[in-house]
Structure 1
Amino acid sequence: MQRAEAEAWRARVRGCLLGGAIGDALGGPVEFEDSRSILAKHPELVRTFVDGGPGRPPGTITDDTQMTLFTAEGLIRAGVRTDRGLGFTVAVVQHAYDRWLDTQTLPGPSGERDGWLQREQWLYARRAPGNTCLNALTEARKGGDRIPQFGAAAVNDSKGCGGVMRVAPFGLLPAVYPTEWVFDAAADAAGYTHGHPTGKLAAGTLAVIIHELCAGAGLDEALTRAISVLVQHDGHDETSAALTFARHLAATAPANPVTVERLGGGWIAEEALAIAVYAALAYPEPGQFLDAVALAVTHSGDSDSTGAICGNLLGTLHGETALPAELVFTVEGRPVILQLADDFALEFTQRDRLHGDWGPYTEWTTRYPGW
């Protein structure tokens, strides 16, 4: 990349990860409330961080951001792995999810894992993690304390949103990674926990939208491109129909929670993606980020996931400077989120200066082991 292009892309990477965390933290405290109850307390929609109960002060992120961070770390480690001449191996991301599972089952770092992210104590907090993710990864361990072999798909028929809500980092990969490959890789990563075709195809579609946004496309153009890739896959009907309806509502219906709930509750993959896309299309301008994520979380459904995905989309589209300062300032884990975003950008733009001739013996590859 040229310098200006690399700077713009880095701003999108930071905007995506931090924007997703903001949407997640906005939606987390209202995830299990109905829209009437939410609107009674927040008549202007949920526009500020609110208390989520014991141990969850305003600005607290959930499992959505946790898993997204481990996705990003896994992709960095997959990049490092290419030093071995093995190519870019998506299964390394399943290893990252195995480390995330430790954060949900152990009180703190065990000292038996490598890399730096799993040593962050604040990530060892259960924030209503999805049962499908927990069960699929536990089953992949085959009774042990870690997954013995990475890359196998989950054996279930779930299309819950736990696959799509974490795959945004796949879309952030530079343009050298072809669009169709990005789709398939994100779908495979979702398939490590969610076996239904819709759960995987919705994830692939989100990744392509973000990939196109990183290339400079507008939101509507990126959505068109993503749908054109989606419809080439068997079983696309649920996802393509949901996105077509979201686009229709954004053009014809008022931007309010009633319209959001016409798209469903967001508990399943295609609905979560459609709600996030609808909210982003309803408020696509840089100064409307908060309007969009507030709309995305104010409904009787999976508010943290729809908020996180919407934040991923608009954070990518506009870059980090479009994010509301008062939310950036107080969202949980900001230093780690931004450090990981910057490391992601470094790995995929300046890896030759980080890996060098020393291969696995550098400080960088101690931080990000290639497996």
Structure 2
Amino acid sequence: MTNDSLSTSTSPAPADPTPGPLEYEDRVLGCLLGGSAGDAYGMLHAAGRDPVEALRDPSLLAVSSATSLTLYTVDGLVEALEWANDGVAADETACLWLAYLRWLRRQGEHLPPHAPAPPDRWLDRQTGLLTEQQPDRDTLQALLSGEMGTRSRPLDSRSAGPGALIRSAPFGLVPRIPASMAERLTLDAAALTHGAQEATAPAATYSAIIRALAIDGQDLTGALGSAAETGPPAAGATAEPTAAGTLYAAVQGVLAGTATSTSSREQFVRALAHTVKADAPGASPIAASSLAGGIMGALHGTSALPGAYLSSSGTPEIVRAVAQTLFRQTSGA
């Protein structure tokens, strides 16, 4: 590991406060469950169904790569923390690449012959997390190359889609590390599959927003910062979703959803509703809805979520369990 490697034994820098355990855990759980709820909401909207169904009984609802890649990101970070807490040096980015290769295998793909074959972990054996019908294309293609992309050796400098963005929240949820390390982890992990700055920079912006809410305890205005003032991205030459357009739609949806209500749950629902209807160039409604749900969950914690997400089986149960593994490794319990 590097000198700023993941380790729960490292004391936090004074400029990087860590909230109390209960507040921190509630915000983390709110972020991960909120992202999953937003994902399911966006999926139903895209299918022409009433998206509010996602907030009633989430146990059997399908989710996209936004949820599954986020969970595999947490699992990759947890594996790096496990090694660090055992006193063994590990490369966090390599752990994340192995986690994404396990995600690739879960999609029914064969790993490239020259790629490592990581052993299964608990997450890989969970049947409640359904295989996506349309996994993120850029991520899939990059992983199928069998090469580990880096910022200095990008696999595809043209990949500006939201695949790295949708999995970046967990980097903002790791306590006791400086903000600079959270940003480095986000950018290094994004570069595993996405080479364009148009893809990696929004991922870093999103993880910074999540960190500002979940770790630093900032209010929404402070957490969004300049992202709230950024105008819509220019329409591209194609209709393909972009990371910039998707993040813009999520931020605008959150701002609209929080403008007219003081109830955290009403704000959550309204934020999702505004996000999926946002007319932003390059926005993926499904991915943007997941991002908006993650922001609202990090802002308000589990109080913003429908009660079913705190007790339901299926994907919500897996999300709750994965969150607990992060808590255990970051608390040293």
State the TM-score, normalizing by the size of structure 1: 0.71
Could you say which residue in structure 2 is the equivalent of 1:79?
81
Could you say which residue in structure 2 is the equivalent of 1:270?
244
Could you say which residue in structure 2 is the equivalent of 1:67?
69
Could you say which residue in structure 2 is the equivalent of 1:209?
209
Could you say which residue in structure 2 is the equivalent of 1:105?
108
Partner Cα separation in structure 2 for residue 153 and residue 95 of structure 1: 17
Give the count of matched residue pairs: 295
Deviation at 1:333, TM superposition (A): 1.0
The letter of the residue matching 1:319 is G
The letter of the residue matching 1:302 is S
Confirm or deny that 1:115 pairs with 2:121. Answer: yes
Partner Cα separation in structure 2 for residue 326 and residue 181 of structure 1: 35
The letter of the residue matching 1:166 is R
Deviation at 1:122, TM superposition (A): 3.5
Confirm or deny that 1:313 pairs with 2:314. Answer: no
Structure that is richer in helix per residue: 1
Confirm or deny that 1:90 pairs with 2:96. Answer: no
> What is the 5 A alignment of 1:284-295?
284=258, 285=262, 286-287=264-265, 288-295=267-274
Confirm or deny that 1:23 pairs with 2:24. Answer: no
Partner Cα separation in structure 2 for residue 266 and residue 9 of structure 1: 36
Confirm or deny that 1:130 pairs with 2:136. Answer: yes
Deviation at 1:332, TM superposition (A): 4.1
Q: Is the 8 A contact 2:128 2:318 kept in 1?
A: no
Partner Cα separation in structure 2 for residue 135 and residue 266 of structure 1: 16
User: CA-to-partner distance for each residue in 1:119-166, whole Å, 9 max, x for gaps?
Assistant: 11343513311211110001025xxxxx799x9743341110011011
Match of 2:275 among 263, 287, 296: 296
Q: Is the 8 A contact 2:149 2:191 kept in 1?
A: no
Gaps of 5+ in 2: 1-11, 111-116
Deviation at 1:81, TM superposition (A): 2.1
Could you say which residue in structure 2 is the equivalent of 1:360?
none
Distance 1:204 1:113, change over 3 A: same
Partner Cα separation in structure 2 for residue 243 and residue 179 of structure 1: 22
> What is the 5 A alignment of 1:243-262?
244-245=230-231
Partner Cα separation in structure 2 for residue 84 and residue 10 of structure 1: 25
Match of 1:333 among 294, 302, 315: 315
Q: Is the 8 A contact 1:15 1:319 kept in 2?
A: yes
Deviation at 1:211, TM superposition (A): 0.6
State the TM-score, normalizing by the size of structure 2: 0.78
Partner Cα separation in structure 2 for residue 193 and residue 310 of structure 1: 23
Q: Is the 8 A contact 1:64 1:165 kept in 2?
A: yes
TM-align CA RMSD: 3.3
Gaps of 5+ in 1: 51-55, 142-146, 228-239, 247-260, 354-371
Partner Cα separation in structure 1 for residue 246 and residue 172 of structure 2: 17
Could you say which residue in structure 2 is the equivalent of 1:157?
158
Distance 1:347 1:282, change over 3 A: same
Does the residue aligned with 2:107 lie in a helix, a strand or coil? helix
Distance 1:148 1:321, change over 3 A: closer
Could you say which residue in structure 2 is the equivalent of 1:251?
none
Q: Is the 8 A contact 1:103 1:125 kept in 2?
A: yes
Deviation at 1:87, TM superposition (A): 5.9
Is the radius of gyration larger for structure 1 or structure 2? Answer: 1
Deviation at 1:336, TM superposition (A): 1.0
User: CA-to-partner distance for each residue in 1:309-350, whole Å, 9 max, x for gaps?
Assistant: 011111011101220225656584111110111111111112
The letter of the residue matching 2:142 is A
Confirm or deny that 1:178 pairs with 2:183. Answer: no
Deviation at 1:297, TM superposition (A): 2.0
Could you say which residue in structure 2 is the equivalent of 1:363?
none
User: CA-to-partner distance for each residue in 1:52-71, whole Å, 9 max, x for gaps?
Assistant: xxxx9963211210000000
Identity %: 28
Deviation at 1:85, TM superposition (A): 4.3
The letter of the residue matching 1:187 is L
Partner Cα separation in structure 2 for residue 282 and residue 135 of structure 1: 35
Q: Is the 8 A contact 2:39 2:63 kept in 1?
A: yes
The letter of the residue matching 1:89 is E
Does the residue aligned with 2:145 lie in a helix, a strand or coil? helix
Partner Cα separation in structure 2 for residue 155 and residue 3 of structure 1: 36
